[in-house]
Amino acid sequence: MQVIRPIPITDQTLVASSIPEQDAPEYSSGTTYAVDDVVQVTSVQSLYQSVSAANNDNNPVADDGTNWVRISSTNRWRALTSKSAARRRHQEA
């Protein structure tokens, strides 16, 4: 029996995928978000949901949960999560 050691998947190792990254609009500091709006922050492969009204200029990555809650990985990275409930979408060409 041969054991294959797992390697961590990072931006440097995942260089191509047929699963699209885009799940939601990219976060923009100049946009005002309403409660339940969802944004994507591609640099950290995460989706965030707004939990406050008139949410403006609050970076989801730096937020303490007052304005944003991380809800999942982005579409492409969700396929690589260890959570069995994770789902990903593949758009047929």
Element (H or E) spanning 77, and its range?
A: helix 75-78
How far is the C-alpha of 18 from the C-alpha of 12, rounded, in Å?
A: 16
Strands 55-56 and 32-33 come out as: antiparallel
pLDDT tens by residue, the chain, 93 residues: 899 998 887 777 777 888 877 879 999 999 999 999 999 998 998 999 999 999 999 999 999 999 999 999 888 777 776 654 444 444 444
CA distances from 77 to 22, 44, 82 (A): 11, 10, 11
pLDDT value for 83: 58
Which fold would CATH assign to domain 32-75? Answer: Seminal Fluid Protein  PDC-109 (Domain B) (2.10.10)
Q: What would the two tokens of residue 76 be?
A: 């492409």
Give domain limits for the chain.
32-75
Whole-model pTM above 0.85?
A: no
